[in-house]
Every structure is written in structure tokens, then in C-alpha cells.
Amino acid sequence: MPRVVRQFLRKVFHRPDRPDNVNDREGSRDKEQDVAVVMSCASSYRKDLTEVSAASIDISHPTKIAAPIAKSALQPPATPATDSTETETSTDADGVTVSLPVRLWDRAYNDLKREETDLVDVYEKILSRQLQDGLGSVVPESQPNTIAQNNSDARRHQMTQLIHAGLDKTAREATMKEGLGVAVNVILSVRDIISSAIQAMPQAALAWTGVCLTLELLANPVKATEANRKGIDYVAKRMDWYWNLSGNLLKDPPDHADKLSGVRHELENQIVDLYKVLLSYQVKSVCSYYCNRGLVLLRDVIKLDDWDADLRAIRDAEKCFRHDTQTYNAQQVTSHLEQLVGHAMSEKDQQCLKQLRLTDPRDDKARIERTKGGLLQDSYRWVLDNSDFQRWRDNPESRLLWIKGDPGKGKTMLLCGIINELDRDNSANACRRNVAYFFCQATDSRINNATAVLRGLIYLLIDRQPSLLPHVRSEYDRAGENLFQDANTWDALSRIFSNILRDPSLRTTDLIIDALDECVTDRPQLLDLIAQKSSGSSRVKWIVSSCNWPEIEQQLEPASQKARLSLELNAEAVVTAVNAYIRHKVDELAGKKHYDASTREAVHDYLSSHANDTFLWVSLVCHALADPKVQKWHTREKLRTFPPGLNSLYARMIDYIRDSVDSDLCKHILAVATIIRRPVSLGELTTLVEMPGGISNDRESLEKMIELCGSFLTLRDQTVYFVHQSA
């Protein structure tokens, strides 16, 4: 166990002055003290990760490889295993269960075969001849390749046959030459290693075949150069260690699968690259030996005399692998420390988080995507190639990106897509990066104010990085739940938020706030905070979105490192995105309504020519066309009732309500929906609006009433919402 981890655990769990007969009250107090120590130690020991990672593996010598950090640092390190039952297993393409090392060696061999097709083909012809007539047989030019090409299991059986034949032949020759030189001793020692490895795991034959055949070169030094012999000796002595690399380092406990899968995958790639270089050296050595024996198949295939460069390639691959291994071990240690912090969280910690949580922005994001019919990739992909976005993403000095545009232009879904891409990059590259976000909605009092924004961002930051919790606890322990609900809440949360952003342990962080124009309470102070904080730490970057409001632009002006991304100035990209959305919605309608080709084309053309680059307009029209009362033969006539542009469409919807029999009722419902501070349930609506007799308890009739309000209102989970703030 690395020294830093031992010190960490000793400091947390060792209590020399604690009596054996401790009572429950003392135990509870000790638990609280343990929690405090864990929380502080997790931060202080993070800086020593470099030392930990360096201590976890030494690639400079095959006997010094260490197992990965165990699931519990209190357990002793696991002993490297060669038995397949102790190693992670999977099923190969032929349905055969194989260990992780076998899978990676197979992958390396197949990759090498694709990249060096001619060389490996000659190698396999040599192996084919040895299978046919025994080792040492002369290989004719017409020799066919009989090594299994599409069955890894059959290929492994062939390699096993070759190894057994090679070990027998090497034993006989070594006995005849016993005492004649150091090379014979090397041959015997490597022969024993190969024999033990194959007995323990017959599936390892692919990795060892080349080593076994290169022993011929050591037994016949006149056939090999000094540089080639040194390389063979280097590889042969380290093969057992090479074989165990993946089993030792990539044995990952299940609870780490999500957090470390990206680094683990990259480390797998590095191991495969290393294995590929080793196999290439073995293959070249075997081919060189038979070339020196007159084999003409290799003529013009590859250069086989640059052995120093080939050995350097092996050492370079080891060096690259060492670097990635240290990254992997550092990630493991960080993950384990955070697990200790998480497991030690007290009831007060849990209570503090519950009081802090007003909403989980992840749930808000999922709800928004669901109610808008899902997130269409083609509707936001354009922004990833936008120069303003790329400057924000790639330039450390670009810390604030303001995405602005008129209502209905798709800003919210654009930000949903950006969040997904940032999270995806985070997972793929195993970055320890925080992504926290908040979606403002003016019609929902839970999420339409500046305090709610801060609570949501802080909640997600702590969820992503639990070691930040003490910043909240220090204030919560003094104020209790009043911290989040009294007149001073904004000031207290601003102070907490500032302390979190200044915390040296804070990872690189992206903060995203959607729809600043829908933050109806205390928006000016939220904008001031954004302008101030976005000019601070380079570890924290911001993306905000809003409508084109001059007051928002004015308050963001003091931010020193900002960029604007105007949807109106990127009209061509927005048009392409809206057209993709139109195709998607028309496909949905055609499937539901069974449009013929002519009707489908008419709907598509009308939407394309009248949308004015506005997602919301398309959504509202398609929602109306999807109404079961609109039969497919009414579609063209219905289309013509929708004027272009949001304002014209809203005016048309008002006319529709004004002309209906239930005009007065609809006006009352819309009036109530406009002035209430939060969305109301159907039941609450009946207490605010006088309904016609007999329908107050009739849910189906109440739902019909909401439908009568045109496309202004929508019903989700029996709660009434405006379709969009622009209404």
C-alpha cells in the first residue's frame, strides 16, 4: 500500500487514546470527529497523488509491478495472478470465454496483422510449415498458410502445438550444448517460464509462440546479430511480466466501472499497443531467422536488420504505458478518497443536502427534453463547430459565452445538447471535470429566481465533488434550514458559492445557466455575480443564454473575458437545424396520420417556407396537426390556417379562442395562468376558476378545457403549464 494512503488511513481511523468500553454517546461523537477528519484529509492528501501514482507501479523492472489500488485500502494488495479464474473474463468473437490478457493479446495480434499483412502472412506460413513437418523445417516458396484466420480459439490450439514442439526441441538441443555458454542457461530459464505459463493457462499460447521460436536464434547464435540476440533476451526475460500487466492493472472493482471506464479503456489501448510492438519484434525475429536460412518469401516485404530501432520502439511503448498507468492510479486514489468521504457522511451532511436541494437540475433537464419531444442531435450539432463556442472551449482566457436569440429559436435545447456533449467528453476522456447547470422557467416559482439558481448550481457541484460540502456545512451548522429561506439567503449563498470557486481542490468546472430572461426575481444581482465571477478563476467557465434583452447585455458588459454567440448572426446554421427538426416532426406526423407522399411533401414544404427559422413555431403547428380531430384529409386546409411567425400565430390562436363557445372560460383560465406564481394542478385550477356545473371533479372534462385554450397551455402530470414563455 502506498505510504500516503497508509498515512491517510492511519490518521482517519487510528485513535490510540480511545478506551475499549466506549459507550454509544462517545461512539457517536467519535463518528462525527471521524467525519471531520475524513473531509479535511481528502483535500490535504489530494496534492500527494503524484507520489501515490509513482509508488503504485514501477515499469522499469518486471518484478516491481504492483496490483491496482484495492477496493478497500485497508485490505492487503492482491497478489498478481496467472490463473484465468482470478482474472477478468469475457467472451471472444467465437463465443469462447477468455481472460482479459488473452483478449488483449488476441486484439494486438489481429491489429498487427491488419497493419503488417505481408509480414504476418509470411510468419504464419513459417508456423504452418513447422506444424506440418516439425520445427526447423525448410519453408518452400509455395508454402500455404494453414493458420486459422477467423477462429481465435482454433488459432490458439495451433500455437499450443507449436510451443510444445518447440519446448521439446529446445530441451534436446540445450542438453547437447550444456555448459557451452551463457545462452544455453538463458534458453533453459526461459523454457521453464514458457512451460509454467502454458500449463497454468493454455490460452496464453499466442503470446508465447514467438518467444518459443526465437529461442532457436539463441541456440544458433551464428544465425542472429548481436543486437537481435540482445532484443530477444530482453523480451524473453520480461514476457511473464508482460503477460500479467493487464490482469494486474485493469482488475477494476464494479463500483469503479463508471468513474474510471474512460481511463481504463485508454490504458487498455496502451497495453495493446505495447503488446503489438512486442509481437512485431518476435515476428520479425522469427522471419529473420528463416530468411537467413534461405527463405525467399521475405524479399522486399520489410527491413529486418534495424534491431536497435525495434528495441527502442519497445522501450518507447513501455514509457508511454508508464505515463498512462500513473494517470490511472491517480484516478483510482482520488476515487477511493472520495468514496471514504462519501461513506463517512453523517446524518447532518445528508440533512444539509436535503435542505439545500430545491430542485435537481438533472431532473429539470430530463423533463424539458421529454416535454419538447426529445433532443434531436441534428438540431444542435452545428454549435460544436461554431468558432465562438470553440474559442470558449479551447481558450483558457475565454471564460464566458453568452448565447442569445429571439424566442423560439431553440436556445434551451441548444444548451441541453452542449451539456450532453460536455458530459460525453468527460466520460470518454475520464476527465475529473465538473459540469453544473440550471434551467430558469418564468412560469415555475421554484426555478425562476436568482437564489434558486445558486442553490441548483451548488447542489450539483457538491454532488459531483463531495469534498466541497464543508463550505455549506460551515454555514448550515450555524443557521440551520434558515440558511436557505430567510431574508439573507442570497448573501449567504453568494458567499458559499464564492468560497467554492476559490477552493484550491475545485476541479475544472463548467457552469451553464439557461434562460436568464426567465429569472424574474433578483435577475440583476445574478447577472452581477456572473459578470464578476466569470472574470476570476481560469478553472471556471460559464455559458449563459437569454433573449436579446439590452438590460442583460448591459449587466454582462463588465465581464472581461466574454464572447457572444448570436443565433441571428448564425442564421444559416439555425436554418439547417430547423430544417432537420422539420424533417423529424414530419416523419412523426406521417407515421401517426399515415400521410401519403403528396400530403407529406405539402406539410414539409409549408413548414419550411413559413417557420421563419423558429423551432417553437414548428412545434406549435405540428402539435395542432397531431390533434386526433384533424383527419389526414383535413391536413392541407388546416395548414393554411397557420400564419408565419410567432406573433401572427399567437394572434391566430387568440382569434380561435375568441370565436369558440367557451371563450369566456378560456379567457379566465388564461388570466389565472398568467398571474399565478407557479404552475397549478387541475384540482387547484378548479378552485381558482369557476367551472361549468358538473365538471369540477371530471378529470377528462377538465383536460378538454385546457385543450380549448389553443396551444398556449399544456398539461404535464396533471399540472398546467404555458407551452413557452413567449406566449
Q: How far apart are CA 158 and CA 144, in angstroms?
A: 15
pLDDT band for 601, please (50, 70, 90 cuts): very high
pLDDT band for 403, please (50, 70, 90 cuts): very high
Q: Which of 324-338, 462-476, 478-492, 665-679 has the lowest mean pLDDT?
A: 324-338
Highest averaged pLDDT of the listed ranges 147-151, 182-186, 231-235 = 147-151
Residues 637-657: tens digit of each pLDDT: 888 887 876 656 556 666 666
- What is the pLDDT at residue 96? 63
Q: Which of 48-62, 137-151, 344-358, 447-461 has the lowest mean pLDDT?
A: 48-62
Element (DSSP H or E) covering residue 646 = helix 646-658
pLDDT band for 633, please (50, 70, 90 cuts): confident
Q: Which three cell numbers stand for residue 602?
A: 405539402
Q: How far apart are CA 263 and CA 323, in angstroms?
A: 12
Q: Is the pLDDT of residue 375 over 80?
A: yes
Buried b (16+ CB within 10 A) or exposed e, 88-127: eeeebeeeeebbbbbbbbbbbbbebbeebeebbebbbbbb
Strands 540-546 and 400-404: parallel
Tell me the mean pLDDT in the region 683-693. Answer: 71
- What is the pLDDT at residue 102? 81
Residues 85-99: tens digit of each pLDDT: 344 556 655 566 677
Tell me the mean pLDDT in the region 666-684. Answer: 73
Q: How far apart are CA 226 and CA 694, in angstroms?
A: 101
Q: Is the pLDDT of residue 79 over 50?
A: no
Single-letter amino acid, residue 148: A
- What is the pLDDT at residue 121? 86
Buried b (16+ CB within 10 A) or exposed e, 364-391: bbeebbeebeebbeebbebbeebebbee
Q: How far apart are CA 529 and CA 90, in angstroms?
A: 52
pLDDT band for 268, please (50, 70, 90 cuts): confident
pLDDT band for 32, please (50, 70, 90 cuts): very low
Highest averaged pLDDT of the listed ranges 305-319, 425-439, 655-669 = 425-439
Strands 680-681 and 719-722: antiparallel
Q: How far apart are CA 286 and CA 162, in angstroms?
A: 13
Q: Which three cell numbers stand for residue 713?
A: 397551455
Q: Is the pLDDT of residue 236 over 90?
A: no
- What is the pLDDT at residue 285? 77
- What is the pLDDT at residue 118? 84
- What is the pLDDT at residue 270? 78
Q: How far apart are CA 318 and CA 59, in angstroms?
A: 7
Q: How far apart are CA 446 and CA 359, in angstroms?
A: 8
- What is the pLDDT at residue 116? 85
Residues 715-726: tens digit of each pLDDT: 667 776 665 554
Q: Which of 142-156, 159-173, 579-593 has the lowest mean pLDDT?
A: 159-173
Q: Which of 244-248, 355-359, 556-560 has the lowest mean pLDDT?
A: 244-248
User: Which H, E and C letters describe 652-710, residue by residue?
Assistant: HHHHHHHCCCCHHHHHHHHHHHHHCCCCEEHHHHHHHCCCCCCCCCCHHHHHHHHHHCC
Residues 205-216: tens digit of each pLDDT: 776 777 777 666
Q: Is the pLDDT of residue 234 over 80?
A: no
Element (DSSP H or E) covering residue 401 = strand 400-404
pLDDT band for 26, please (50, 70, 90 cuts): very low
Q: Which of 224-233, 342-351, 395-404, 484-493 has the lowest mean pLDDT?
A: 224-233
Highest averaged pLDDT of the listed ranges 107-116, 425-434, 493-502 = 493-502
Single-letter amino acid, residue 682: L
Query: CA separation (Å) from 708 to 140, 425, 683?
Result: 87, 45, 17
- What is the pLDDT at residue 634? 84
Average pLDDT for the chain: 74
Residues 422-473: tens digit of each pLDDT: 998 877 665 678 999 999 988 788 999 999 999 999 999 999 999 999 999 9
- How large a percentage of the chain has pLDDT more than 90? 23
Q: Is the pLDDT of residue 157 over 90?
A: no
Contact by Cβ (8 Å): 707, 697: no
Higher-confidence residue of 346 and 366: namely 366
Q: Is the pLDDT of residue 27 over 70?
A: no
Q: Is the pLDDT of residue 255 over 60?
A: no
Tell me the mean pLDDT in the region 480-489. Answer: 91
- What is the pLDDT at residue 291? 67
- What is the pLDDT at residue 726? 46
Looking at the whole model, is its pTM more than 0.85?
A: no
Contact by Cβ (8 Å): 564, 402: yes
pLDDT band for 346, please (50, 70, 90 cuts): confident
DSSP symbols for 460-473: HHHHH-GGGTHHHH
- What is the pLDDT at residue 440? 94
Residues 502-556: tens digit of each pLDDT: 998 899 999 999 999 989 999 999 999 999 999 887 789 999 999 888 899 999 9
Q: Is the pLDDT of residue 149 over 60?
A: yes
Q: Is the pLDDT of residue 670 over 50?
A: yes
